[in-house]
Amino acid sequence: MKKIFKGLAFVLITFFVFLNIVVAFHAYKFTHFYNKNTASVKKAELMSGWEKTEAMLFGINYTKLPLSNQPAHRFAKFYTTTTDGIILKGWYVPQAASKGTIILFHGHGGNRSSILTEANNFYNLGYNVCMVDFRAHGDSEGNVCTIGYNESADVKAAYDYVAAKGEKRIVLWGISLGAATITKAMTDYKDLRPAKIILEMPFASLSDAVKGRLRTMNLPEQPLTALLTFWGAVQQGGFWTFNHNPYEYARNIHIPVLMQWGKDDKRVTKTETFEVFQNLSSPQKKLVIYNHSGHQSLAKNEPEKWNAAIQAFLKDK
């Protein structure tokens, strides 16, 4: 019996070590984006048997997505530097006579091209628009994404760029990672004073974000969520990932907030959405639910409802 238990213990320990190695690779790949031509991503149907096995075991190297389009109106390219020395690239689209400036922040793995629909809509409502690539995305510097933690400095840098133009009415808009990062920035920087905030589909915690990713891959949430979050903390080094919680940051937001969420969202749950919303300290907050949308651009998928909700929110005093 002792030999059987020893053998079983050996198998379990070996499996546990192997599982942690695999998870550590995946955690690393999820938070790193490589420069063009240093990594390539093949569609699953084009992979060989070994390539598929390698991807399952060690994750996939993702490149920074190139910009796919430009604003429909006259724009200026700009760059700004964060407090920790990262150079961010962006677009600024001015109006002749504006109602204010909307600063837009994209989601994980995207770039400023991916939010052009929203930017053009805001422009057509009479606002200047400013779009910036987060660090490790698009044309901005860096290769490490901290899923909103250090990116709060990117939000502040974009805000300071617009504020330096003399703009008094600044509105922050973000989707997914962008929305979660705005909540972190509002906690980190007391001199960040936008007039209003629009949050679309922010995750409630980093652990919840990991769960959402696992759901889309049809993988079990446990023990993978805890392991991925833990290895993310080990690899990032600068912060404890289990404490990265937008639902807690929400308590520090006291200005008007519009939150939006798609009912068919598989990444961000209804429970998460209500947790963030209920924690917002703003006396002027509204939640709009889209019945025919998932984790996607609400402006593209349900444009009439999106435009009506946005216009009503921006008109409110």
- pLDDT one-digit tens code per residue, 87-124: 999 999 999 889 999 999 999 999 999 999 999 999 99
pLDDT exceeds 90 at position 185: yes
Chain length of the chain? 317
Element at 131 (helix H, strand E): strand 128-132
Q: Select, from the ranges 4-18, 55-69, 204-218, the one with the highest average predicted confidence (pLDDT).
A: 204-218
Place of tokens 């759901």: 215
Cα separation, 151 vs 87, whole angstroms? 12
Evaluate the CA torsion angle 134, 135, 139, 143 in order and state its sign. negative
Strands 285-290 and 76-81: unpaired
**What does the pLDDT average to over 135-151?**
94
5-14, 235-244, 287-296: segment of lowest average pLDDT: 5-14
**Helix, strand or coil, per DSSP, at residue 236:** helix
Average pLDDT, the chain: 89
Of 313, 316, 311, 317, the residue nearest 126 (C-alpha): 311
**Helix, strand or coil, per DSSP, at residue 154:** helix
* Structural tokens at position 199: 């949050």
CATH topology of domain 64-205+244-315: Rossmann fold (3.40.50)
* Structural tokens at position 275: 């947790």
On whether the CB atoms of residues 136 and 32 are closer than 8 A, the answer is: yes
Of 134, 130, 142, 206, the residue nearest 170 (C-alpha): 130
* Structural tokens at position 182: 């705005």
The predicted structure's pLDDT at residue 24 = 79
Q: What angle do CA 97, 101, 104 make, to 5 degrees?
A: 140
Cα separation, 120 vs 41, whole angstroms? 30
Of 40, 200, 238, the residue nearest 107 (C-alpha): 200
Domain layout of the chain by residue ranges: 2-58, 64-205+244-315
Letter for the amino acid at 231?
W
